[in-house]
Amino acid sequence: MKKKTKKILLRTLYFLLPLLLLLACAIHRNDYTPYPETAYYKQTIAALAQHQPVISEADTLKVGWAKQSITPPPPFPLAGYGKRLGKKYTSVHDSVYVRTFAFDNGKQQAYFVALDMLITPMTLTATLDKASIKAGLKPEQVYLSATHTHTSFGGWGENLMGWVMAGTYSQDQVNKTVNAIIQSIKKAQSSAQKTKIGYGKAFAGHLVGNRLNGQESVRDTTVRFMKFEQADGDIAVLATFAAHATVLPSKQQILSRDYPGAFVDALEKQVSFAAFTAGAVASHSPVYHYQDTFQSVDSMGAQLARTIVPELPATDMHYTSTLGYGRLPVTLPDPEWRIGDNHHLAPWLFYRLFGRYPSFISSLQIGNTLLLGAPADYSGEYMKELTQVAAHQNQQLIVTGFNGGYMGYLTPSRHYMLDEYEVRDMNFYGKWGGDYITSLFRKVMKAYKPALGNKL
């Protein structure tokens, strides 16, 4: 009996030992070292000196705009909700586009690109960077953003989690989307004229909620916009807002731009051209009143447009000659995709599931208005602080997400221990990720000086 028991124990040990070794390799303890003390922070600060923005004061700024369809015909995978597992959409409610602004002051050019997509996928960024160089552009001249609609097309994620969120990968569709972006840049270039530019904002607190903790005092309720008026009288508007584009439910299998599309369509009844991009959307949900339907989409889009329209005639407009752009490479900490409070998957396992991609901070200066692009769902709870920093530097600030890299959700470190989706499932880089990127934003802002001789 003792001999038999010994054999059972040995067999159990042989089974458990590899399992324990695997767990030891696959699960690590969280690192709570404050980010200013880390090597990754110091490396990025060092890189900032080598990647200063390119800024010039030259001739009066010319601005052009254009759009190009990027709609794959059905059936094609949807992106936006993991529970869909990349199911294909069966029809198209409203087509998706790339909308582009071209800026040229006679000395340099820059481009703002807004995609009707969940994010700007990293696979697309890599392909676009190569195509931009072939087209005679530097990748940092192209500022990327997305509307963050959860009912646009997928097919752009290479790894397992990419398939979960966006369906089967299609290099062909990535190439087609990149070609459409390049075409939109060329069309926007060809339409550029001397243009007056203004910055404005409106209140839309009735359309956004804080889904992380329900605190109304820490929402970003501002609609920020830029107005462009060409010499021939044509007017374009670029707007951003913090509410997630998640009006339509996950079970819905129809391609749509969600409320950003309805907003643009409503605004284009008043102006020649409009574009929307997601602002600091992390922890911010849309507020609507007709359940998860296209009626709610149209209603929210129309209401958002109505917040801006009365502000357009009063927008202070000026010519400017200041144009700047930059792309700061960001050294990332080891990923910490959490298991419980104090442990996470080992980095090697995270990379196998999600892939390993570079991240960066985008920046674009137009007169005294500065746009900063985050590689993430970036929290609107940071906007009050950053807006005050900008005002102190005589700048207006617009923050957008989904710039071509992706770090998951970036929220204030004080929320780290909340038992919520945004700081658990979608927090990829530990307690300090949001605070780290916010500190880099502040440093990038200081690299841009207010425009000389022209207020905007």
User: What is the pLDDT averaged over residues 271-278?
Assistant: 98
Annotation: binding site: 148, 244
Global pTM value: 0.94
Q: How far apart are the C-alpha atoms of 177 and 207, rounded to whole Å?
A: 31
Q: Name the token pair of 166.
A: 């966006």
For 109-135, what is each residue's pLDDT tens digit? Answer: 999 999 999 999 999 999 999 999 999
Residue 453 has pLDDT above 70, yes or no: no
Domain ranges of the chain: 30-53+320-447, 63-311
User: What is the pLDDT averaged over residues 357-372?
Assistant: 97
The contacts of residue 378 (CB under 8 Å, 6+ apart) are 280, 281, 282, 399, 401, 410, 434, 437
For 24-76, what is each residue's pLDDT tens digit? Answer: 578 999 999 999 999 999 999 999 999 999 999 999 999 999 999 999 999 99
Q: How far apart are the C-alpha atoms of 397 and 381, rounded to whole Å?
A: 15
Annotation: binding site for Zn(2+): 148, 244
For 416-445, what is each residue's pLDDT tens digit? Answer: 999 999 999 999 999 999 999 999 999 999
Neighbour-count burial of 230, counting CB atoms closer than 10 A to its CB (0-12 exposed, 13-18 middle, 19+ buried)? buried
Query: With contact defined as beta carbons under 8 Å apart, do 199 and 396 qualify?
Result: yes
Largest CA distance in the chain: 97
Q: How confident is the model at residue 7 (pLDDT cuts 50, 70, 90)?
A: low
Q: Name the token pair of 395.
A: 């700048």
Q: How far apart are the C-alpha atoms of 224 and 398, rounded to whole Å?
A: 7
